[in-house]
Each structure stands twice: as C-alpha cells, then as structure tokens.
Copies of this chain bind each other. A is one copy, B any other.
Amino acid sequence: MKKRRSRRQSGPQVSELTTNRLSIYLRCLDTLQAEGVQTISSQGLAARFHLNAAQIRKDLAWFGEFGVRGVGYSVETLAAHLRSILGLGAPIRMAVVGAGLLGQALADYPGFPRDGFEPVALFDRSPAKVGGQTRGGVPIFHIRRLKGIVRRQRIRIAMVAVPAEAAQQVVNQAAAAGVEAILNFAPAALVAPPGVKLRNVDLTVSLEGLAYHLKRHDANQK
C-alpha cells in the first residue's frame, strides 16, 4: 500500500525543481494554517497560489501518501510532513562569510530565524571588522577561526558573500571546516567537493536575464 522510497537517512533523489516547490508548498500551508484552514485539496492549493494540482500530487508522491481520497490533505499534518522531508526539524545553524553590507544584511535577515535558519557567526579577514558584531548581535570572527567555530557551534550551512576572486577559496575552507552545504552569492562559477551541496544566487545573472526582456530603444537600430 505504501511505497517506501526513503532509504532511512537521506530521502529520494528528487530534482531541485521538486525541492524548491516543496518549500513553496510549505509556505502556502503555513499561510492557510494561519487563516484557520484545516483541510485543503490539491485543487484548492493550486487555485489559491497559482500552482498546478497534478504537480503538487506528483511531488508529494515521491515521499508517501499524505492525502485522503475524496477529502484532500490535512493542512497541519502535511506541513509537518514537508518539514520533516526537508529536514527542518530543529533550527539549522549557519555561518556567513564576508562581513560587507551584503554579508551583514544576510546575518541579520529577520526571515531566517522565522524559518528555522539561525546565522550564528560572521567571518571576515578585515581586522577592523573582526571582534565586532552586527546590529542584530551576530559576532564577527576572523576567517582563520572558521573551522573551530563551525565544529564547536555545529554550523551546517555557510553563506558566501565575498568578492568573486575570494569565493572559491572560501568554499574550500568552508568544506574543509565541515560545512555540509553552501549558498554562494559571489558572481563566480565555483566547485564544491563531493558531499557538499552548493547553490548559487547570482544577482548579475538574474538582472541580465531581466535585461533581455526590456524593450529595446536604441538610437540606431541596424
């Protein structure tokens, strides 16, 4: 009756597109729960949040059977399942590397703690910054201390907000320090050692993608 695809520890090998949508579904469910909605069908979810009902069901099917036929899904229990699938049981501690404006903004971003991600340390190589802390109270350490603090504080994710030239070295250091995943904001094509998951948030690529869609009003069109 149940297709157990889970290999005990890590879940099935689903695509990044699917995990992204699971995260979206979770957010939608949280919204519904705040509104007091107790049950919702895939149709209802799709209509309310501009999603595709079949896709919701397919995405969930990778992990089990969470719905009740003829009824739909319990908002509360489906949200709990998604949190479990995504590994959001306990808060996840993070480090931010690079104490520039972006790094400090990330360290103090109010959305992260709300979603169970806690930036607990900021790293930089500038002596002027080391020893201080962000407005939100995140302490700034010298990058040299990365490994020790990652170990001691059980930091699992690093966010990289340093100039492109330094980014690869920071990824290497973070991986060596035992970080399991990295979110990179530097505009550079980086590689992470096997076992370390790397994702990029490339603002230049995003903006140039938008630029492609701007109306062209060049003076001299050939």
Contact = CB atoms under 8 A, between A and B. Distances in A.
Contact of A50 (B20, B106, B189, B215): B189
A209 B108 contact: no
Interface in A100-122: 100-102, 104-106, 108-109, 111-112, 115, 117
Contact of A221 (B8, B26, B86, B156): B8
Given A189-B24, A213-B197, A183 B157 contact: no
Interface string A49-75: 110000000000000000000000000
Contact of A208 (B23, B94, B216): B23
Contacts of A215: 9-10, 180
Contacts of A26: 208
Interface size class of A (residues with CB under 8 A): 35 or more
Nearest to A101: B105
B218 A89 contact: yes
Contacts of A207: 92, 94, 112, 115, 117, 157, 183
Interface in A135-153: 135
A19 B208 contact: yes
Interface string A143-185: 0000000000000110000001000000000000000111100
Interface of A: 8-11, 16, 19-20, 22-24, 26-28, 49-50, 85-89, 92, 94, 100-102, 104-106, 108-109, 111-112, 115, 117, 135, 156-157, 164, 180-183, 187, 189, 191, 197, 199, 201-216, 218, 221
16 contacts: A10-B213, A10-B216, A22-B212, A27-B187, A27-B204, A86-B211, A87-B211, A88-B211, A89-B218, A92-B207, A111-B204, A117-B207, A157-B210, A183-B203, A183-B206, A201-B201
